[in-house]
Structure 1
Amino acid sequence: MVIAGFAAVLALGTFLLSLPAAAVDAEGTSVVDALFTATSALCLTGLVVVDTATNWSGFGHGVILVLIQLGGIGILTFATLLVMMVSHRIGLRTRLTTAAETKTLGLGDVRGVVRGVVLLSLSIEALTAAVLVPRLAVAYDTEWSRALWLGIFHSVSAFNNAGFALWSDSLTQFVGDPWICLPIAVASILGGLGFPVLFEIGRRYTKPGGWTMHTKIVLWASGGFLLGGAVFVTALEWGNAATLGPLPVQEKVLAGFFQGTMPRSAGFNSIDISAMNSATWLGMDVLMFIGGASAGTAGGIKITTFAVLLFVIYAEVRGESSVNIFGRRLHGDVQRQALTVVLLSVAGVVGSTVVFMVSTTFTLDQALFEVISAFCTVGLSTGITAELSDPHKVLLSLLMFVGRLGPVTIASALALRRRVRLYELPEERPLIG
């Protein structure tokens, strides 16, 4: 039902963007380009095949904004409710205090979740816009009405990790401006943490020791990847004359942090992605594939999925019989679900990359970057998106749709599908390694 609902909204968005009124050109936009843009907006990706700033009219920009907001709130609500449905821990029915402590789902819980998601989303977007609007109006001599629209659009795009910008060069003109880059980065990070984590921090911020395993994993892993991504991009691009090289030291640090944050699914860029080193692309591939937290606006296989497998490896190397994380034992079902999500995602990425390699002239690093960006709903590109043929645009649209709804749907379906086996088969071990 959820997938059908998103498909219906996608069809409506495609129709509206294909209307002549949605484009600056009176002839309108092709159906394939409208489908690609609508999918990218609804699935919070940010990849574009036409220039967002110059191709779409005010009506078209409005449609894109609504699709982003619907996609963000819809996915947050959907993912959070699924977390509540599949978690069988403690019977807390009145409020969602954590992503893993609800046994049953009552009507009051649904209302509370939806209300909380909407209010939290709108509040963070409003605070981000409150910083962007005066900065754009005063520092860049923008009319207040235009600055208000730009502030609202980019705050919504940032919190929902959509990556759409109303400037043709994304945010490259603001590469050294912390009053533009940092609010957008912070909003993207908060959206990527996920609603259950934000909700629990807000209610129990004075008792971090009592936070759940999910919240602790998300915060520790997110901090590590944010710091690691920023250091990685800054170090590899420090002397690149086409990216960070010409900038002053303080602007290099700001741009490195900003661009190291964006692969988690935000999709904005303040430096030229196409001019980066191939090694930087590969590192960003990894960051994009991992993504953000479950029940958040970020994409990827989710940082909790990656962390679970990392702890599984750690326990196996140490020879431990169970996987323990932050003083809690990890359920065996979660390990199998994480492995399933990762392997299915790898299969989707590899298969699509092979299709690109045999049907285009793009290099492997370009094709892999584009496919991962689409499947993990990031929105960064090496500059080849606009050169794609219609079949490849449709393929990327499918990847964005599956990448956004697929992992969480698969994970929840696996968790909800419980079968009690009344017998066990004889045990045997194959050779591993």
Structure 2
Amino acid sequence: MTGDPASRRERLSVRRRWAELFDRLRDLTTASPARFAVSVFVILIMLFTALLSLPIAAADGRRTAFADALFTAVSTICVTGLSTVDMGSHWSPIGQVIIYIGVNVGALGVLTLASILGLVISRRLGLRAKLIAAGDSNPMRAHGGPVNEGQTVRLGEVGSLLATVALSTLIIEAVLAVLLYPALLLGGVDPLSALWEAPYYAAMSFTNTGFTPNPEGLAPFAHDYYFLMVIMAGVFLGSIGFPVIYTLARHRWHVRRWSLHAKLTLITTVILFFAGAAMFLLLEHSNPRTYGSMDAWDTVFQSFFVSAMTRSGGFSVVDMGDFYGSSLVVGSMLMFIGGGSASTAGGIKVTTLAVLALAVFSEAKGRPSVQAFGRRIPSDVQRVALSVVAWGATIVAISTITITQITGAHVEMVLFDVISGFATVGLSTGLTAELPDPAIYVMALTMFMGRVGTVTLAAAVAASNRSQLYSLPVERPIVG
């Protein structure tokens, strides 16, 4: 009845090995959640590279070149939107479904995805995992020291945050799809195709990816302001970040109850949106290849649309390669800043810019501390902000120099596409589609570094935090 003793021993041995593997995975999630998050993203990229390399994923039924499959997988998982192939014609319906799934998985974010997997493995979030998850919900992220009560999401609310991430993604994309469906029908798309394209556009806008399911892109909807405004709304919701959505869902219009992070994110986002539109309008109104042939309303609307898309959206109606060099510089600046923390957007994040701007303002006023909305921003947050900008600029500089050397292209075009990749925006001057394989690998690494985040990557590499129990003598070097 009990079976052969040898069989029982074999079953016990198998169970023991599975238990040991399970324990190791649980230890990994609790001991180094940031490193685990990076590992998860690498595994996902490898998996989707293999899937996109399958003959059935391509429209012509042949295997996609490894460099193109890898680049598309990185761009998909990192929700970037850059591509080395025509996304509307190269991939088969199965390939498009793979990309659709990959974009939604990648949109969950590095640490959010790792926290969910860690929760499944360990059946609970450990303290260090909660610290990391809570840290990704605000500008402090991987700072040293205890987590104080002023965080956007407290440790006890991490589970609610993860639920908000999943539910908000599903609900917002569903609402966007419903709003886009009639616009697609009016645009001449047949009802069956619109059932697929509506959720596809919804996912690509909310995740700030910018892929389009048709070879023409947004050209058929260039004058459909309703369609473009829904796309802009999806990009905005995706770029402000899940912690802000969480705060708005809890407190709605009770502005005084909003966290400092939510206030800084929304205010900085709105300022950059209008400032970017004004700059594009000023610089491009006389360009015959872009706004010069449009009427006043089209010019103003497209200026706001480009301003929203350069923040991380990645959609384009006007070819970015036709913009003046000065406009490309403005677009590069907006892309480098990006969107909100713990969002589907990339870049150094708007809260990083806000903290640095407040620090400069406080220094000019001679204030002993950085303050905003009746709150004091600690010095460790300022150090993290400086580190993010420094590392981001370093990554962009190295990638730009390398790709320029490989391709011999104009540096302003390379810089624009590199920042677009680093900030996971997806806009291109047309250079990315023409890159040779070595440059493709450099750009793929740049996208990965930009999506994982400089702070998260540094935390993953660091073995442990070390505390210094002594203080060195003070000496002030001359700066400025």
Same fold (TM over 0.5): yes
| 1:40-71 Cα distance to aligned partner (Å, 9 max, x none) | 01101000110001100000100100000000
> Does 1:62 find its partner at 2:114?
no
Matched letter for residue 88 of structure 1: V
Q: Choose 1 or 2 for highest CA Rg.
A: 2
Q: Given the superposition, is the C-alpha separation of residues 306 and 268 from structure 1 closer, same or farther in structure 2, using an over 3 Å criterion?
A: same
Using structure 2 for the length normalisation, give the TM-score: 0.84
Cα pair 1:76 1:117 within 8 Å, conserved: no
Q: Given the superposition, is the C-alpha separation of residues 79 and 12 from structure 1 closer, same or farther in structure 2, using an over 3 Å criterion?
A: closer
> Does 1:37 find its partner at 2:40?
no
Q: Given the superposition, is the C-alpha separation of residues 76 and 158 from structure 1 closer, same or farther in structure 2, using an over 3 Å criterion?
A: farther
Q: Given the superposition, is the C-alpha separation of residues 99 and 431 from structure 1 closer, same or farther in structure 2, using an over 3 Å criterion?
A: same
- Following TM superposition, by how much is the alpha carbon of 1:407 offset from its aligned partner in structure 2, in angstroms? 2.5
Q: Secondary structure at the match of 1:349?
A: helix
Instruction: Give 2:152's aligned residue.
Output: 100
Q: Secondary structure at the match of 1:265?
A: helix
Matched letter for residue 252 of structure 1: T
Q: Given the superposition, is the C-alpha separation of residues 76 and 179 from structure 1 closer, same or farther in structure 2, using an over 3 Å criterion?
A: farther
CA distance in 1 between counterparts of 2:455 and 2:168 reads 21
Cα pair 2:235 2:313 within 8 Å, conserved: yes
Residue of 145, 153, 163 corresponding to 2:210:
163
> Does 1:243 find its partner at 2:243?
no
> Does 1:116 find its partner at 2:164?
yes
Matched letter for residue 7 of structure 1: V
CA distance in 1 between counterparts of 2:220 and 2:332 reads 25
Cα pair 2:348 2:388 within 8 Å, conserved: yes
CA distance in 1 between counterparts of 2:361 and 2:159 reads 40
Q: Secondary structure at the match of 1:324?
A: strand
Residue of 21, 33, 41 corresponding to 2:56:
21
Q: Given the superposition, is the C-alpha separation of residues 309 and 410 from structure 1 closer, same or farther in structure 2, using an over 3 Å criterion?
A: farther
Matches within 5 A, 1:400-419: 400-410=447-457, 419=466
Instruction: Give 1:88's aligned residue.
Output: 147
Q: Secondary structure at the match of 2:313?
A: coil
> Does 1:126 find its partner at 2:174?
yes
Q: Secondary structure at the match of 1:423?
A: coil
Q: Given the superposition, is the C-alpha separation of residues 383 and 171 from structure 1 closer, same or farther in structure 2, using an over 3 Å criterion?
A: same
Aligned residues: 421
> Does 1:179 find its partner at 2:226?
yes
Using structure 1 for the length normalisation, give the TM-score: 0.93
Q: Secondary structure at the match of 2:209?
A: coil
CA distance in 1 between counterparts of 2:455 and 2:404 reads 28
- Following TM superposition, by how much is the alpha carbon of 1:76 offset from its aligned partner in structure 2, in angstroms? 7.2
Matches within 5 A, 1:271-286: 271-286=318-333
CA distance in 2 between counterparts of 1:99 and 1:17 reads 40
Instruction: Give 1:305's aligned residue.
Output: 352
Q: Given the superposition, is the C-alpha separation of residues 76 and 188 from structure 1 closer, same or farther in structure 2, using an over 3 Å criterion?
A: farther
| 1:136-176 Cα distance to aligned partner (Å, 9 max, x none) | 11x12221110111111010010000111123242133222
Cα root mean square deviation, aligned:
2.0
CA distance in 1 between counterparts of 2:246 and 2:47 reads 32
Runs of 4 or more above 4 Å deviation: 78-81, 410-419
| 1:287-340 Cα distance to aligned partner (Å, 9 max, x none) | 000000101000001111111111111111222211112211111111111111
> Does 1:388 find its partner at 2:435?
yes
Q: Secondary structure at the match of 1:421?
A: coil
Unaligned runs of 5+ in 1: 91-97
Q: Secondary structure at the match of 1:119?
A: helix
Instruction: Give 2:419's aligned residue.
Output: 372
